[in-house]
Structure 1
Amino acid sequence: MFLSELLPVRDAFRILDENQRFTEPETVDLLEAYHRVLADDIVSRFDSPPFDRSAMDGYAVRAEDTFGSSPGNPSTLRVTDSIGAGEVSGVDVGHGEAVRIATGAPIPAGADAVVMEEYTLQDGPDIRVLRPVAPSENVAPAGEDVRRGVTVLREGTLMRPQEIAMAASAGYSKVRVFRRPSVKVIVTGNELVDPSDDLEPGKVPNSNLYTLNALVESAGGSADPVHLPDDIDTVGEEIESSASEYDVIITTGGTAISRGDVVVDAVDGLGEVLFHGVALRPGKPVAFGMVSETPVFMLSGYPVAAMVQFDVFARYYLLRMQHLDYRHRAVKRRCRAKVASGPGRTDYLRAWADDEEVEPVQSRGSGIIRSMVGSNAYIVIDENLEGISAGEECDVLLFDSMVI
């Protein structure tokens, strides 16, 4: 059996770290690699760009043929060819000659600069150059971005659009990434009904099912949600079967420390509850355990408490499960109002932050979803602090910093 006692937040993180699981690599098309984590280094297969190319629309020339050019004394050059993007010219650019060239097209042999089109005038088969260019002007040299054989992305990198561009430029249409965690979401509660149903006495819309589904996706996981009644046998059967099919199980409801704990009791009967009750507000009844080597996060039934518990603990675990070097990273903001806090617990207060200041929201109940809608951050008050004074700097955890 387990004991229900309030752990400091830091000890809860220690237990999560001691029981951290990871997903294995898989190969995916680069089109599916957004927000995935690289499982291998990416080494460029060739120079990028692979040839000297024009950085402008204009004319490839020998720079020395333009020296001294001006509107009053233009240089005249004979146009001998035209190159579009993806094309190659077989013409060597000789003295007094030019080749019309598009942005990105290879620089033809003999040329060493590009005159921008707006600095030329068409004169039959010739152009008149109105200003000089220096050697290499408007030319992007081969390998300017990346050289062949250079490591351009490291294992553990989160693939944003810019990393996907780099992988493609390095010659990859498929990459090895770590698999997304599969997450069984079990929402319990006899009072919960489909949001589109008419409400009977004692019933409330089931927001947790949709909330947890979205939260899991925001942490890079793939969720499979289900709603179950408050029945220990039904819940236990679902947890037991899910433990062999999913990487993580997340439940809501049935965790209250002061009364019957359907979910916690079910996990305790199937495996081990490693903690139940953490010294944080809101959401102290949060629990964590293992069933058949599968981690189980047991969150509160109150929507806001469940969201906070997910952000603090489950999100941390899921991101690290994908081999991301993730820690909650707070920033400093000046608090606009005085905030009270009790010693011995860590407070995560809903708040709205800008670039300089942060203001706590007024509605703080664990069931006030509107308070989360009006927030973009948590004010984090350490267990050793007894609140924050107005105008004092405080730690702020921005929602955007936790989403991949």
Structure 2
Amino acid sequence: MTSSQRLPASLTPLDAAVATLLDGADAVAPAELALADALRCVAAEMPPLKAYPERDTASVDGYALCARDLVGASSYSPLPLMAVPVWVEAGEAIPDGCDCVLDSDSVDVSGPMPQVLAEAIPGQGVRRAGSDIAAGRFVVEAGQHVRPRDLLMARAAGLQHLNVRRPRVRVVNIPGSDVTADLIAESARAIGAATTSFTAAGRDAGSIGAALDGRSCDLLLSVGGSGVGRTDAAVTALASRGEVLAHGIALQPGRTSAIGRIGKTPVVVLPGAPDQALAAWWTLALPVLDRLSVHRRRETVNLPLARKIASQVGIAEIVLVERKQDMWSTLAVGELSLEAIARAEAWLAVPGGSEGFAAGRPVDAYMLRE
């Protein structure tokens, strides 16, 4: 075993580490953001919407009429009108007293007296008030991520801003961990966090400590240098700036992860290897972001396992899965290749107190794709 593979002397159970990390973590205040900036952010509480459209509108171009006045009209028995009916374009409000729209071929206005050549039913050619958005609905429920289709509804309702919670995440790259640091920063941005990246000037404790600024963020993540080797100084740097709450988590992969706090800002020290960093991101960092966003909900899907998952007791193991024939098929357990990470549709963690899950057992897995 090389020095870079050495582990901390003891391991903290994952659930205990998460509980310690969340202790004292406060929700960020809601903020009003322009619609484009709110995309992927976590929705906060918002007032209910008015009905849209507010009135009955035309869904086609044509003449606005009242259906009950057209009973019996046909090309063989035209119905004469006293005046040319009102013409409406699609999207325009239907005049009072009208409840249908007939196309131009159904109304003859060429002669001295307009004639209707077809019957209609109430609502024909009409978009009813509230048919797109019912009164009292919300653009997006609090705790859900804002999606492009939510912005469609917001724009249709005439909104220019949305109320969201957007935690600030600072990602510190320890030199040599560039690829993994980019992965973590991109993962944070993908869920709507306001993310900034910074590279430490060196791998020594002084350089890393100078980059660990917890004042301008709600969650501080450092990537790389989390082990106990000669060039691993991230945990020492954290100790110099704040408090190390635990170093060494009973998590596979990701055992050399650490957690701490600088002032009131929670800190997660992630290993430099992509699979280990992702494991720590999923199990340690994301619960903090859930707490900072108050109601943030991560999508899970419950399916039975296609085959047994065996796990060692005392270590929480990450499992990557993909869906096959309405079952979860295992891609990797504990050791996560880049190919498995790229293919995976979801992940789950086997608790440290479990020996695994039997084939056919339904399990919840956190979705990695929408």
Whichever residue aligns with residue 174 of structure 1, its letter is H
Please state if 1:371 is matched with 2:340: yes
Q: How does 1:123-142 map to 2 (within 5 A)?
A: 124=110, 129-142=116-129
For residue 243 of structure 1, give the secondary structure of its aligned residue in structure 2. coil
One of 176, 181, 199 as aligned partner of 1:209: 181
For residue 357 of structure 2, give the secondary structure of its aligned residue in structure 1. coil
Alignment partner, residue 224 of structure 2: 253
Alignment partner, residue 357 of structure 2: 388
Separation in structure 2 between the aligned mates of residue 344 and residue 211 of structure 1, nearest angstrom: 28
One of 272, 285, 303 as aligned partner of 2:274: 303
Distance change (3 Å), C-alpha of 1:100 and 1:221: same
One of 216, 229, 242 as aligned partner of 1:271: 242
Alignment partner, residue 107 of structure 1: 94
Q: Deviations over 1:192-213 (max 9, x none)?
A: 2xxxxxxxxxxxx831132122
Distance change (3 Å), C-alpha of 1:329 and 1:384: farther
Please state if 1:186 is matched with 2:172: yes
Q: Deviations over 1:16-54 (max 9, x none)?
A: 33132332233322343222334452244x653233322
CA contact (8 A) 2:25 2:264 kept: no
CA contact (8 A) 1:209 1:227 kept: no
Alignment partner, residue 79 of structure 2: 75
CA contact (8 A) 1:332 1:394 kept: yes
Please state if 1:361 is matched with 2:366: no
CA contact (8 A) 1:361 1:371 kept: yes
Whichever residue aligns with residue 33 of structure 2, its letter is V
Alignment partner, residue 336 of structure 1: 306
Distance change (3 Å), C-alpha of 1:163 and 1:363: closer
Q: Deviations over 1:173-200 (max 9, x none)?
A: 234433x3332212224xx2xxxxxxxx
CA contact (8 A) 1:26 1:176 kept: yes
Separation in structure 2 between the aligned mates of residue 348 and residue 213 of structure 1, nearest angstrom: 21
Q: How does 1:131-170 map to 2 (within 5 A)?
A: 131-143=118-130, 150=136, 152=138, 156=143, 158-170=145-157
Please state if 1:233 is matched with 2:206: yes
One of 194, 197, 204 as aligned partner of 1:222: 194
Whichever residue aligns with residue 101 of structure 1, its letter is V
Q: Deviations over 1:235-291 (max 9, x none)?
A: 11211xx22223221112222258775111221222111222222221122211101
CA RMSD of aligned residues (A): 3.2
Separation in structure 2 between the aligned mates of residue 123 and residue 151 of structure 1, nearest angstrom: 43
CA contact (8 A) 1:38 1:157 kept: yes
Alignment partner, residue 92 of structure 1: none
Separation in structure 1 between the aligned mates of residue 216 and residue 56 of structure 2, nearest angstrom: 53
Alignment partner, residue 30 of structure 2: 25
Measured after TM superposition, the shift of residue 116 of structure 1 is 4.5
Distance change (3 Å), C-alpha of 1:222 and 1:337: same
5+ long unaligned stretches in structure 2: 1-7
Measured after TM superposition, the shift of residue 146 of structure 1 is 5.8
CA contact (8 A) 2:78 2:117 kept: yes
Distance change (3 Å), C-alpha of 1:174 and 1:226: closer
CA contact (8 A) 1:37 1:323 kept: no
Distance change (3 Å), C-alpha of 1:145 and 1:372: closer
For residue 283 of structure 1, give the secondary structure of its aligned residue in structure 2. coil
CA contact (8 A) 1:47 1:146 kept: yes
